[in-house]
């Protein structure tokens, strides 16, 4: 299978940037007074190339898979939670199910490599949908082998891209589920950003201090075992997960189509980190929903130059933070599209001699 590596041109356009900024500055408010909402509106206007951007048919995809490394005791929960939570997503009872429903987000679950066979079920319009993107029944234990081979990595990326192609709309919200996947995210970050793994390893689903210390020791041994893996896709295959590889493909595809990509927490951001090493311009299409309570996320966001919308100590994953932040994107669009300008409303502007530099 060939590698999925589309060209992603930069959408940076100084003239367009200035035009959108001028529109925002003409709204009836003191200059800059809507703070980060203004920066968000600016970003959405640039991604969707519209002075009045509209978010259409938003699609939340929860990418799910299992991790061989989980057998090394790096998670507080058993591997079976992955498939059990997939069932919960589909039944409508998980956090992301509730928040997606509340916010009018279509919900999809992509089985990229859950260890159990999940029965296919009929598609019911308006209900969460299960997609079979399974590459294998979980990755191999990456403390003693590559998590996946290059062909599996390519397949997972293609699956993610193909799924995005099949979805309507102009906004993709990224979610994930996979017991053990905070370990993969920490490993990708440690290797790709050359930081000490102890600095970027946290409790995940809730390890205690002794558990975190054991997790760090395991992750150190994994990094030593894969010392030769340095290129982004080598690192992804060596220590990633099928859901992460599928998200890399999904991000590249969504970026190529110029969709708005709403990034959730630590693991989805790890996928964006890998994608951005392959095609840096994907970052121009991303909105980072929140700063996760997982300590490595702050370092990862910094490495990407990302400014997250929320800082709520969320550490659930699933796409829950992306769904929570969604109304902020809607507000940003409403602000740009519906707020009056000083001229249209007949409101007096700031006096020239009082303008700050
Ligand atoms: O997104 C995050 O920031 C995040 C932080 C901690 C845990 N999680 C979720 O918890 C699971 C992974 O945790 P663990 O401890 O099994 O590595 C996985 O299903 C993630 O969705 C997610
Ligand atoms: C219950 C549970 C729900 C989750 N959702 C995402 N990761 C999770 C991990 C656990 C353990």
- pLDDT number for residue 357: 61
Ligand 2 nearest-atom number relative to CA 76 = 11
Protein residue closest via CA to atom 11 of ligand 2? 77
As a whole number of angstroms, the distance between CA 148 and CA 176 comes to 18
Q: Is 266 touching ligand 1 by the criterion CB < 6 Å?
A: yes
- Ligand closest in space to the Cα of 206: 1
Residue 202 CB partners (closer than 8 Å, separation 6+) = 182, 186, 212, 293, 294, 295, 296, 315
- pLDDT number for residue 19: 98
The CATH architecture that domain 14-53+336-344 belongs to is Orthogonal Bundle (1.10)
Protein residue closest via CA to atom 22 of ligand 1? 317
pLDDT in tens, 23-62: 999 999 999 999 999 999 999 999 999 999 999 999 999 9
Distance in Å, CA 141 to ligand 1 centroid: 18
pLDDT at 1 over 80: no
Distance in Å, CA 84 to ligand 2 centroid: 9
Q: Is 267 touching ligand 1 by the criterion CB < 6 Å?
A: yes
Q: Is 180 touching ligand 1 by the criterion CB < 6 Å?
A: yes
Q: Is 205 touching ligand 1 by the criterion CB < 6 Å?
A: yes
CB 113 within 8 A of CB 152: no
As a whole number of angstroms, the distance between CA 210 and CA 213 comes to 5
Per-domain residue ranges of the chain: 14-53+336-344, 59-328
Distance in Å, CA 344 to ligand 1 centroid: 48
Report the top-level CATH class of 59-328. alpha beta
Which of 193, 214, 162, 347 lies closest to 270 in space, CA to CA?
A: 193
| Across 87-93, average pLDDT | 98
- pLDDT number for residue 353: 85
- pLDDT number for residue 355: 75
- Ligand closest in space to the Cα of 175: 1
57: left (phi over 0), alpha (psi -120 to 50) or beta: left
Both tokens of 278, joined, read 């392959």
Give the gyration radius of the chain's Cα atoms. 21
Ligand 2 nearest-atom number relative to CA 206 = 11
Q: Is 56 part of the annotated catalytic residue set?
A: no
User: Phi and psi (nearest 5°) for 176?
Assistant: -155, 160
Protein residue closest via CA to atom 21 of ligand 1? 317
pLDDT at 297 over 80: yes
pLDDT in tens, 63-79: 999 999 999 999 999 99
User: Phi and psi (nearest 5°) for 159?
Assistant: -60, -45
Distance in Å, CA 315 to ligand 1 centroid: 7
pLDDT in tens, 170-183: 999 999 999 999 99
pLDDT in tens, 116-165: 999 999 999 999 999 999 999 999 999 999 999 999 999 999 999 999 99
pLDDT at 197 over 90: yes
Both tokens of 333, joined, read 């669009």
Distance in Å, CA 93 to ligand 2 centroid: 12
Distance in Å, CA 275 to ligand 1 centroid: 20
| Across 220-228, average pLDDT | 99
| Across 300-328, average pLDDT | 98
Residue 8 CB partners (closer than 8 Å, separation 6+) = 252, 255, 256, 279, 281, 282
| Across 186-197, average pLDDT | 99
Write down the mean pLDDT value for the chain.
Answer: 98
Three-state DSSP class for 238? helix
Protein residue closest via CA to atom 9 of ligand 2? 205
Protein residue closest via CA to atom 3 of ligand 2? 85
| Across 317-324, average pLDDT | 98
| Across 10-30, average pLDDT | 98
Q: Which residue among 159, 318, 338, 353 is the active-site one?
A: 318
Ligand 1 nearest-atom number relative to CA 76 = 15
Extract long-range pairs of 44-47: CB within 8 Å, 24+ residues apart. Answer: 44/260, 44/287, 44/329, 44/332, 44/333, 44/336, 45/20, 45/336, 46/11, 46/13, 46/16, 46/17, 46/20, 46/284, 47/11, 47/258, 47/259, 47/260, 47/284, 47/285
pLDDT in tens, 234-263: 999 999 999 999 999 999 999 999 999 999
Distance in Å, CA 292 to ligand 2 centroid: 14
Ligand 2 site residues, Cβ closer than 6 angstroms: 77, 81, 85, 177, 205, 316-318
Q: Is 181 touching ligand 1 by the criterion CB < 6 Å?
A: yes
Measuring CA to CA, how many Å separate 32 from each of 47, 156, 176, 331? 21, 43, 35, 16
As a whole number of angstroms, the distance between CA 210 and CA 204 comes to 13
- Ligand closest in space to the Cα of 81: 2
User: DSSP string of 182-193?
Assistant: HHHHHHHHHHHT
- pLDDT number for residue 354: 83
How close are the terminal C-alpha atoms of the chain, in Å?
A: 56
Three-state DSSP class for 162? helix
């Amino acid at each position: 299978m060939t590698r999925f590596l589309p060209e992603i041109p930069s959408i940076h356009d100084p003239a367009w940037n200035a035009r959108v900024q001028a529109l925002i500055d003409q709204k009836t408010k003191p200059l800059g007074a809507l703070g980060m909402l203004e920066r968000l509106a600016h970003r959405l206007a640039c991604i969707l190339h519209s002075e009045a951007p509209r978010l259409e048919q938003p699609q939340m995809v929860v990418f799910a898979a299992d991790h061989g490394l989980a057998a090394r005791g790096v998670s507080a929960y058993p591997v079976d939670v992955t498939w059990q939570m997939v069932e919960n997503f589909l039944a409508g009872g998980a956090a992301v199910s509730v928040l997606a429903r509340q916010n009018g987000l279509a919900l999809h679950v992509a089985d990229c490599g859950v260890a159990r066979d999940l029965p296919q079920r009929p598609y019911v319009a308006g209900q969460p949908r299960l997609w079979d993107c399974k590459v294998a029944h979980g990755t191999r234990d990456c403390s003693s082998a590559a998590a996946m081979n290059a062909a599996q990595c390519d397949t997972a990326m293609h699956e993610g891209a193909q799924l995005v192609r099949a979805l309507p709309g102009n906004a993709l919200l990224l979610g994930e589920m996979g017991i053990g996947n905070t370990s993969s995210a920490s490993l990708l970050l440690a290797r790709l950003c050359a930081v000490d793994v102890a600095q970027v390893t946290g409790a995940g689903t809730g390890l205690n201090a002794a558990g975190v210390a054991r997790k760090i020791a395991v992750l150190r041994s994994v990094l030593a075992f894969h010392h030769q893996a340095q290129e982004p896709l080598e690192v992804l295959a060596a220590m990633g997960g099928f859901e992460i590889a599928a998200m890399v493909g999904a991000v590249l595809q969504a970026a190529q189509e110029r969709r708005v990509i709403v990034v959730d927490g630590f693991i989805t951001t790890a996928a964006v980190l890998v994608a951005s090493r392959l095609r840096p311009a994907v970052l121009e299409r991303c909105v980072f929903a929140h700063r996760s309570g997982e300590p490595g996320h702050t370092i990862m966001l910094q490495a990407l130059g990302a400014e997250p919308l929320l800082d709520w100590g969320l550490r659930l994953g699933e796409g829950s933070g992306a769904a929570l932040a969604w109304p902020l994107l809607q507000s940003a669009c409403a602000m740009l599209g519906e707020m009056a300008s000083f001229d249209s409303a007949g409101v007096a502007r700031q006096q020239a001699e009082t303008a700050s530099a």
